[in-house]
Amino acid sequence: MADLDILIFPDDRLRRVATAVTDIDDKTRTLVSDMLDTMYAAPGIGLAATQVDVHERIVVIDVSEKGNEPLTLINPEIVVAEGRAQHEEGCLSIPGIYEQIERDEHIKFAAIDVDGNPYEMEAEGLLAVCIQHEIDHLDGKLFVDYLSTLKQRRIKKKMLKHEKE
């Protein structure tokens, strides 16, 4: 059980674009397991490899009430997106900050599971929001990027102050 270090905004490594996973091997499966342990311990409902300074397109999610339905998305990509809705979002890389963000309400995505099997799935509500949020991480984007410049500056200042303490 490994507890990985989560990068905190405004760390520049959070802006790196992740590369596609070309081979799912024991190293990949260990990373997925460690990411799940880290996400549950944080506690959170989603974690992108970028957040633990691994710049590969890997995401783990568990939006279940009991935290016992983990979902692994390797090389995820949204293939259909419909509707718009606002949801409150937070982020393990921006602790203590929650903001209303507008995203697609219903999505269909394609990914590969930890055993190397490709799959497609539809998602809505919290799961759809979480998937979009984590894919943004893989693309070097954070939920604060959807906010006004003034809010972004305030959050950055708060995170830098928190880091010094």
pLDDT of residue 161: 87
Q: What is the 3-state secondary structure (H, E, C) of the chain?
A: CCCCCCCCCCCHHHHCCCECCCCCCHHHHHHHHHHHHHHHHCCCCEEEHHHHCCCECEEEECCCCCCCCCEEEEEEEEEEEEEEEEEEEEECCEEEEEEEEEEEEEEEEEEECCCCCEEEEEEEHHHHHHHHHHHHHHCCCCHHHHCCHHHHHHHHHHHHHHHHC
Give the residue numbers marked as catalytic: 134
Name the stretches of the chain with pLDDT < 50.
none
pLDDT of residue 139: 98
pLDDT of residue 3: 85
pTM: predicted TM-score of the whole model, two decimal places: 0.95
List of domains in the chain: 12-164 (3.90.45.10)
